[in-house]
């Protein structure tokens, strides 16, 4: 029997497919057969609820293990990744002087459990908004963790939410996991991030699954989009055309970090790099001072 988790997501995605998708022209029975043959492995086998479970070391893992409120499901290997990515923001935005509390948007609220976790992680001063396309999530809206209803693929909705937040430092995209939606959010929100901000997309394993508009090295899936932006990071090292997202990276992205099923972009204005000689004898140092050379 197909487990509940897969049933929820395969193949129609219900309200997730609010835009026209040509795959919907293929009858569901054929899509199901194609998915059985070429789709992702049965991932529900990895879902557990083990009372003996101990978290990996780290602040987020500890909070997660202690969490008793609204339900949340996270892949265990994300817990230390969250610490690696987000710990520097716990005391506020490192770039602002004096440090101010962070403003975070989580795309995909579901039961609200992860909003609670982010609140515990970033503290009472942080601004933490959630958005979800599911109208039922409106019931989770509180002054502490506002929830707004709309699609992550709707640029005007995203801009309105960011304006209400008073700006944005961190995005966590845990929404539909559909390539077109992920791209739409990235294109709107990445430019809106503050200096030093972080944009994290999780569950990028879906990029490899046809049922999410993905496939191995399929153009347009979000891991491929992120890979294409990597060329922008060293743009001064070569000549040649690059796409508009890579161009954006060449001006505004400091790093793109790939993990298993998570990609993170850190925003920071780029400068032409310079090297500085240290140590050595005066003669050597002068020989390496290229700016003093005639040609
Ligand atoms: C994986 S769940 C989010 C789980 C939550 N972040 C957590 O960790 O508990 C994905 C959520 O994304 C929402 N969603 C699906 N399509 C969306 C869209 N186009 N825009 C915004 N949210 C969407 C779903 O309704 C669902 O609640």
Ligand 1 neighbourhood includes 107 CB (under 6 angstroms): yes
Per-residue pLDDT tens digits for 151-188: 999 999 999 999 999 999 999 999 999 999 999 999 99
Residue 290, pLDDT score: 65
pLDDT higher than threshold 60 for residue 20? no
Ligand 1 neighbourhood includes 261 CB (under 6 angstroms): no
Q: Give the strand pairing for 193-202 and 262-267.
A: antiparallel
**Which atom of ligand 1 lies at the shortest distance from residue 71's CA?**
9
Ligand 1 center to 174 CA (angstroms): 6
Ligand 1 neighbourhood includes 231 CB (under 6 angstroms): no
Residue given tokens 């199901």 in the structure block: 32
**Which atom of ligand 1 lies at the shortest distance from residue 110's CA?**
27
Where along the chain do the CATH 3.40.50.150 domains lie? 51-267
Per-residue pLDDT tens digits for 226-274: 999 999 999 988 998 999 999 999 999 999 999 999 999 999 999 988 8
Residue 86, pLDDT score: 97
pLDDT higher than threshold 70 for residue 40? no
Measured distance CA(163)–CA(239) in Å, rounded: 38
Q: What is the DSSP letter of 11?
A: S
Query: What does the mean pLDDT of the chain come to?
Result: 86
Q: Which CATH number fits domain 51-267: 3.40.640.10, 3.40.50.300, 3.40.50.10070, 3.40.50.150?
A: 3.40.50.150
Ligand 1 center to 289 CA (angstroms): 54
3 state SS of 186: helix
**Which atom of ligand 1 lies at the shortest distance from residue 151's CA?**
20
Per-residue pLDDT tens digits for 86-96: 999 999 998 77
pLDDT higher than threshold 90 for residue 131? yes
Residue of 196, 209, 217 lying closest to 95 (CA atoms): 196
Ligand 1 center to 96 CA (angstroms): 31
Q: Give the strand pairing for 262-267 and 103-107.
A: unpaired
Residue of 156, 63, 155 lying closest to 113 (CA atoms): 63
User: Which distant-in-sequence residues (6+ apart) come within 8 Å of 38 by Cβ?
Assistant: 210
Half-sphere exposure of 23 (CA within 13 A, CB side): 20
């Amino acid at each position: 029997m197909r487990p509940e988790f897969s049933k929820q997501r395969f193949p129609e995605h219900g309200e997730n497919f609010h835009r026209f998708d040509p795959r919907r022209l293929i009858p569901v029975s054929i899509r199901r057969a194609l998915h059985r043959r070429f789709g992702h492995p049965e991932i529900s086998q990895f879902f557990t609820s083990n009372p003996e479970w101990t978290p990996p070391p780290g602040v987020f893992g500890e909070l997660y293990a202690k969490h008793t409120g609204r339900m949340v499901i996270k892949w265990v290997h994300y817990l230390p990744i969250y610490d690696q990515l987000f710990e520097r923001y716990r005391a506020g935005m490192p770039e602002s002087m004096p440090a101010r509390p962070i403003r975070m948007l989580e795309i995909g609220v579901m039961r609200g459990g992860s909003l609670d976790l982010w609140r515990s992680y970033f503290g009472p001063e942080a601004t933490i908004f959630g958005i979800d396309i599911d109208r039922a999530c409106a019931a989770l809206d509180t002054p502490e963790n506002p929830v707004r209803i709309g699609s992550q693929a709707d640029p005007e909705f995203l801009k309105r939410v960011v304006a209400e937040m008073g700006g944005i430092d961190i995005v966590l995209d845990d929404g539909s996991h559909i390539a077109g939606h992920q791209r739409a959010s990235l294109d709107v929100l990445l430019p809106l991030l503050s200096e030093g901000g972080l944009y994290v997309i999780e569950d990028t394993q879906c990029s490899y699954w046809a049922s999410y508009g993905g496939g191995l090295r399929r153009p347009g899936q979000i891991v491929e989009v992120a890979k294409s932006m990597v060329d922008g990071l060293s743009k001064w090292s070569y000549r040649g055309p690059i796409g508009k997202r890579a161009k954006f990276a060449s001006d505004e992205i400091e790093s793109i970090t790939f993990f298993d099923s998570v990609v993170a972009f850190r925003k920071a204005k780029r400068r032409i790099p310079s090297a500085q000689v240290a140590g050595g004898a005066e003669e050597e140092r002068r020989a390496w001072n290229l700016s003093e050379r005639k040609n």
